[in-house]
Chain A
Amino acid sequence: MRILLVEDAVSLRKPVVKALKASGFAVDETGDGEEGYWMASENPYDVILLDIMLPGMDGHEILKKLRAEGNETPVLFLTAKDTIEDRVTGLRLGADDYLVKSFAIEELIARVEALGRRRYQKSTPVLKVADLELDSSAKRATRGGTELKLSAQLFALLEFLMLRAGEVVSRADIEEHIYDEQADPMSNVIDTAVCALRRAIKTSESDAKLIHTRRGMGYIIQEPAQ
C-alpha cells in the first residue's frame, strides 16, 4: 500500500516514515501543505496522513480540496489539536480517522492498515486465496499452515494482489501502490518481484499455481480452476 505523509515537523516525520516503510508500506513524504496537496491529487495513494497545522496550506484545506475534486482516498489526521471541536471539524470535512500526538506507532500502523483495507472493502485483516492466507495486521502469511518467509516488499506485493483477488492488476498499478517516489522501478522490477513471490509462496511441489500472468495486461491471483 502506498501512503502519503504530510507533516511539517521533520523530527516526527522521519521516524514515522521509517516505521511505515519497515511495515511494508510505500511512503511518500513532504512537510509543505501545498506540495502535499499536489502529491495527493497526482498519485493514487491508499491512505493519506495529514497534519493540520502546515505551512503553505493547512490540513483542513487540503482535505476540503481533495474531497471537492472527488478524491476519496482515506485520510487520517495526525495532530496535536485534541479538542472535540477540532476532531469534529476534521471528521465533518470528510476525514476518516483522527490520531492525536503523541501516539503509539503501533496504533498508527494499525489504523493505516484498517483504512487501507477499507479502500478495498475488506473488513478483516485476514485475506484468503485457496490455502494461501495473509494476516495484514500480524504481517504473517501462511500456505497450507506453513509460515512463509517474505520480505516487507514481497509481503506488500502479495497483500496488494490478494486485496484485489480475482482482478487483473496492471504493472503500473503495482508500481504506483507498492513503490514510493524514491524507488525508481525499472521496467522489469515488477516481473522480478512477482517471480520471487511465486517462488516464496510455493512451499511444496504439490502447491497449485495461484499467481497467473495475463500477457499484456498484468497479474491476477485466484484460486486454481478445479
Chain B
Amino acid sequence: MISIRFHLLATLLPAFAAISIAAGFGVYYSTKAELGARLDTRLANYAVDLRFTPPQPERDGGGGMRNRFNAGERDTKRPRMSEFMETGRSRAGLMQLSATLFTNLPSTVYCEISMGSRDTIVKTDNLENNQISRPPPIGDEPVFYDATLANGVQLRAWASKLSIVRDTRHPLVILAVSRDEIDVTLARLASILIGGGIACCLILSLLLIVSLRVSLRPLSKLGEQAATMDAESLHERFSEESAPSDIRPIIGRLNDLMAKLEESFARERRFSGDLAHELRTPLAAIRTTSEVALKWPDQASAEDFEEIHKLSSGLQQTLDSLLLLSRMESSAAEKARESVDPATIAEECRALHAPRAAEHGLRIEFDSSQAAGLETDPRMLRIIMANLIGNAVEYAPEGSVVTIAVGGAALFQCANDAPNLAPDDVPRLFERMWRKDKARTESGHAGLGLSIAKACADTLGFELVAELDDGGRLHIALRS
C-alpha cells in the first residue's frame, strides 16, 4: 500500500535534489567562468605592463603602475619592445634585456619571449628550466589558452605575436599565471556546494516528514475513529469542525454512509425483532399447550392437538415465506423466460382468494380487457399477483370493493380501501414483517407478502409502486 506520505516524499525529495544539483552546477560553472575571465583580465593587464616597461630598471613596481596609466601621454619617452629586441642579440644583452623587461611583472607571472618555433630567447627567472607549452597557431590577435609547464603545473596563458617588431622570425610573447589559486577556490566551492546540498536535502526531508505528519494527522485521527466504530456505534458521526477543508468532503461522505448504515441496521434490527415476535409467539403457544397437556393430562383434549397442528403449520408457512424471500433477495433466484398470459394467471390468483373475499363480504372487480402477453417468469409473476391480491383481500374493510386490473396503465394493478393507512406508512409497506397493526399475531400473516412480491418484481426487472390516493384507497401497481 502506498501512503500519501511516502508518495509525497518520493516525489518532492528527488525533485528538490535535482533542482539543488542543477543550481549547484550553475553556481559552480558560472563561478568558474567568472574566475577564468578575471584571470584573463589579469593576464591582459600584465601584457599591457609588459608592453610599457619602465625606462629605468631601478624604478619600483608602484611607479610602473602609475606610468602604465599615463602611458598614452608619454609614449614616446619610453623604451619600446623593439629596442629590446634589437639590443637582445648577444647573450649578455639578453640577460640585461630580461632584467629590464620583467621588472614590472609580479613574481607569480611567467613570461617567455621566443622567436617563432625556435628556442626561447628571454624568460622570467621563475620558469627556471621549464618551458610554457606553446599555443595553437595564432593570427594577429593575441589568444588565451590553457597551458602546462613541463613539471606539470597548470597555467593560464596569453600569447601574442610581436607584430610591432618587424622581424621575419615572428617573435612570440607568452604570459602565464598559475591556475592553482582558482582551482583551489573552485574545489572549495564544489565541496561547499556538495556538503550544503546534502545538508539541505536532509533538512528538507526532515521538514517534509514532520510537516506531512502534522498535516496528515486529521486523516490518521479519522482512521483511528473509524477503527473504533462497529455496529453498536453507528449513531456516532465524524466531526467536521476541526478537520481541514481538504478532507471535509470525505468526512461528509463518511457521515452520509454512516447515516445510511444506521438506517439499514435499524431496519434489520426491526426485522429481526419482528421475526422473533412472529416465531416466538406460536412457538410459545405450542410449548405451553404441550406442557400443560403433559402436566395435567386429564385436562388435555383433541383441541390441544389441533391447536398445535395449526400453529406449527403457520410457523412452517412463515419460514417458507422467509426462505423464498431470502432466495429472491440474494438474486440467486433462477428465472425462466416464457411467453405468459398475465390475464390467466391473475384470474387463477383471484379464484384462489375468492373464498376469503366472500368471507369478508368483499366485491372483487376484475378487468383484463387490456391484457397483453409478455415474456417473463410465470412462477414469479404468479407469486407477485397472489401476494398483491392476498394483501388486498386480507386488509380491505368488510363490504368494500377490491379492484384488479390486468394491462392498461400498468402490467397489473390491485386497489383496496385502506382507511387505517397513513401516507407515511406507504414507503414502509414493502419492508419485511411490517404491519400497520403490530399486534395482529393471529391473522396467519407474517407481513412478508408484499416484501416477497417486491423481491420477485425486482428479480424480473419490474417495478412495484404503491400509492395512497386522497380517498384512502391503496393502489399497488406492477410496471415494466
Instruction: Report which A residues bind B (CB closer than 8 A).
Output: 8-12, 14-16, 18-19, 22, 33, 53-55, 58, 80-83, 100-106
Contact = CB atoms under 8 A, between A and B. Distances in A.
Interface stretch (B34-42, B153-161, B276-284): B276-284
B291 A101 contact: no
Contacts of A103: 284, 287-288
B77 interface: no
Contacts of B280: 80, 100-102
A12 B284 contact: yes
B288 A15 contact: yes
Contacts of B291: 15, 19, 104-106
A88 to B, nearest CB: 15
A18 B285 contact: no
B191 interface: no
B437 to A, nearest CB: 6
A211 to B, nearest CB: 29
Helix, strand, loop or mixed for chain B's interface?
A: helix
Contacts, number: 88
Contacts of A10: 442
B439 to A, nearest CB: 4
Interface string B286-320: 11110111011001000010010011000000000
Contacts of B283: 101-102
Nearest to A22: B296
A10 B441 CA distance: 9
A55 B289 contact: no
- Most B CB contacts (10 A, CB to CB) among A9, A12, A53, A55 go to A12
A18 B293 CA distance: 9
B443 to A, nearest CB: 11
A78 B442 CA distance: 17
B438 interface: yes
Of all A-B residue pairs in the complex, the 5 with the closest CB atoms, nearest first, are: A102-B284, A101-B284, A80-B280, A11-B285, A12-B285
Contact of A11 (B307, B438, B440): B307
B289 A14 contact: yes
A168 B304 CA distance: 42
A188 to B, nearest CB: 28
B281 A101 contact: yes
B14 interface: no
Nearest to A31: B442
Contacts of A58: 439
B273 interface: yes
Contacts of A83: 273
Given A15-B288, A16-B288, A103-B287, 7 more contacts: A9-B282, A12-B284, A18-B292, A19-B292, A19-B295, A22-B296, A33-B439
A54 B442 CA distance: 12
Interface of B: 273, 276-277, 280-289, 291-293, 295-296, 299, 304, 307, 310-311, 437-442
Contacts of A104: 287, 291
B282 A81 contact: no
A105 B288 contact: yes
A221 to B, nearest CB: 28
Nearest to A57: B439
B85 to A, nearest CB: 120
A69 B403 CA distance: 49
Contacts of B310: 11
Given A81-B277, A101-B280, A55 B299 contact: no
Nearest to B440: A55
21 contacts: A9-B442, A10-B442, A11-B281, A12-B284, A12-B285, A12-B288, A16-B288, A19-B288, A22-B296, A22-B299, A53-B439, A53-B441, A80-B280, A80-B284, A81-B273, A81-B277, A82-B276, A101-B280, A102-B288, A103-B284, A105-B287
B292 A15 contact: yes
Nearest to B304: A15
A101 B286 CA distance: 11
A174 B280 CA distance: 37
A46 to B, nearest CB: 21
- Most A CB contacts (10 A, CB to CB) among B280, B304, B437, B439 go to B439
Contact of A22 (B286, B287, B295, B441): B295
Nearest to B296: A22
A83 B330 CA distance: 28
Nearest to A103: B284
B449 to A, nearest CB: 20
A53 B292 contact: no
A11 B442 contact: yes
A14 B286 CA distance: 11
Nearest to A32: B439
A106 B442 CA distance: 25
Contact of B296 (A9, A19, A55): A19
Nearest to A83: B273
Contacts of A102: 280, 283-284, 286-288
A11 B311 contact: yes
A111 B441 CA distance: 25
Given A53-B277, A80-B280, A81-B273, A15 B439 contact: no
B311 A80 contact: no
A53 B285 CA distance: 16
A12 to B, nearest CB: 4
A113 to B, nearest CB: 15
Contacts of A22: 292, 295-296, 299
B295 A8 contact: no
Nearest to A54: B439
Contacts of A16: 288, 292
A58 B292 CA distance: 27
Contacts of B292: 15-16, 18-19, 22, 105
A11 B292 CA distance: 13
A10 B307 CA distance: 10
A11 B308 CA distance: 9
